[in-house]
Amino acid sequence: MLPRILLNAGATEGIVHAYDGAEAIQYMDRQAAAGAGIPFLILLDLEMPGKNGLDVLRWMSERNLMTRAVIVVVTGSQSSENRAEALRRGAFAVMDKFPRPTDLLATYISARAKLPRPGPKTWTRQEPPLVTA
């Protein structure tokens, strides 16, 4: 559902899907090793098998990647503690796991406006969104 909403919202570059946090980290590691950029938008599930969304946020923070992408956490958890922790760790927004298409679209548009423009110290081309949800 989320990938279809993003495609309808204009994410024409395509969408990368990772099954869990470990797969998302492996994907970003491969991108870095190849000299490519990381996804400009990451929809990150908070509760995944293995490495969870907070683990991915920690990994990205340790590598100074938080300013290169906009991370929107999607979660079914009603724990305000988990949601607040995701925001403290640098998430742009936290949304319910199955957001209304209009809410996701508004967040996507806001996220795109927040992104730095590519330049010599960022990435050379815009990568597709990464969805772990």
Strand partners of residue 41: 70
| pLDDT, position 55 | 94
* Tens-digit pLDDT profile for residues 13-36: 557 788 889 999 999 888 878 877
Name the band, by pLDDT with cuts 50, 70 and 90, for residue 12.
low
CA–CA dist 4, 2 (Å, integer): 5
Residue 80: pLDDT above 90?
no
pLDDT exceeds cutoff 50 at 121:
no
| Overall pTM surpassing 0.85 (yes/no) | no
pLDDT of residue 72: 87
Among 14, 5, 25, 2, smallest CA distance to 129 is for 14
Please give the pLDDT value at position 22.
93
Whether 92 has a pLDDT exceeding 80, the answer reads yes
**Dist. CA 11–CA 97, nearest whole Å:** 19
Q: Is pLDDT of 86 > 70?
A: yes
Give the model's confidence band at 108: pLDDT under 50 very low, under 70 low, under 90 confident, else very high: confident
Check whether 131 has a pLDDT greater than 70.
no
Average pLDDT for the chain: 77
Q: Is the dihedral of CA 122, 67, 13, 56 positive or negative?
A: positive
What pLDDT, in 10s, does the model give residues 51-69? Answer: 999 999 999 999 888 777 8
Q: Which domains does the chain have, with CATH numbers?
A: 2-115 (3.40.50.2300)
SS3 (DSSP) at 7: helix
